[in-house]
Amino acid sequence: MSRARKPDWLKTRPPSGERFTDIKQSLRERDLNTVCEEANCPNLGECWSGRNGPGTATFMLMGERCSRGCNFCDVETGGMDALDPDEPEQVADAVADIGLDYVVLTSVDRDDLPDQGAGHFAETIRAIKRRDPSILVECLIPDFRGEERLVRQIIDAEPDVLAHNIETVDRLQWPVRDRRAGYEQSLSVLRQADRESDIHTKTSLMLGVGEYAHEVYQTLSDLRQVSVDVVTLGQYLQPSRSHLEVSEYVHPDAFETWRRVAEEELGFLYCASGPMVRSSYRAGELFVEAVLE
Ligand code: SF4
Ligand code: SF4
């Protein structure tokens, strides 16, 4: 169904309100980036307000340019930014100032740095926890090209959730992801986190890139094999005409079926599944509901 008109279930209203304005101001004062804004995320109003529990925002660390070029992603490739050594403290200040209870940290890939950015990531987790250990931190990390010592640096900083996105089924890893990424490599990152810590693990898949149902099922099963606790499923949306085309707009009922399969048959702690779901969608509320209560 390429180039098809977007169905009605993908239409959203722009975010507004006092809390939205306050958060935006605090971020601008510190020159910080959030994925929520950069990606024009349709869930911004819902996540930032945290109507039914902790609000969630996703901070993008280490610049706006990535060393990789995935075919579904709108982040620019190459010409890497210099690391800002003050960023960990700035992010921690913003989290305290905004009053977030649940923070998602993610980053561009930094294949250009000797430690691929693992140290900077870990320092940001520690800076947030130093201010208030009760703030829940989810970190959505790159694959660090499968280097276990770098994944361990993140584990040692003790986030509450360690997420790494497998993005799609085995057969479609390329052309969907950069050639340096891979199915087995991503599974090994998640396996290591489970093996070496009690931290909850999480991953995410996009639907609508050309996958078959049996491949989605296989992927979910493989993820459970490495004891992943939480999975999210969302619709892929093409950021521009030069990106991968949408192969299908998956109906909300099909997302609901996958949620049931993931939770009731395969045993994930929870599965957020829906056309507009992104990996950090209402992450704070759902984590508290499913894990802490
Ligand atoms: Fe985008 Fe991440 Fe791929 Fe970089 S590695 S292009 S940020 S999806
Ligand atoms: Fe931000 Fe993630 Fe929520 Fe989108 S889904 S608004 S990126 S926290």
CA gap 43, 49 in Å, rounded: 10
Q: Which residues line ligand 2 (CB under 6 A)?
A: 35-36, 41, 43-44, 47, 56-58, 104, 278, 280-281
Report the separation in Å between the CA atom of 109 and the middle of ligand 1, taken as the mean of its atom positions: 6
Give the residues surrounding ligand 1 with Cβ less than 6 Å away. 66, 68-70, 73, 75, 108-109, 178
Specify the pLDDT at position 225: 97
Given this model, what pLDDT does residue 166 score? 98
Question: Closest Cα to atom 2, ligand 2: which residue?
Answer: 280
Enumerate residue ranges in the chain where pLDDT < 70.
Answer: 1-4, 13-17, 50-54
Please name which ligand lies nearest the alpha carbon of 102.
2
pLDDT tens digit sequence for 128-144 = 999 999 999 999 999 99
Q: What's the ipTM? A: 0.95
Which atom, in ligand 1's list, is nearest to the CA of 107?
A: 7
pLDDT at 13: 67
pLDDT at 1: 44
Q: Is 192 helix (H, G, I), strand (E, B) or coil?
A: helix
Structural domains of the chain, with CATH: 10-292 (3.20.20.70)
- φ/ψ region of 144 (left if φ > 0, alpha if ψ in -120 to 50, else beta) reads left
pLDDT at residue number 9: 77
Q: Which ligand is nearest to the CA of 75?
A: 1
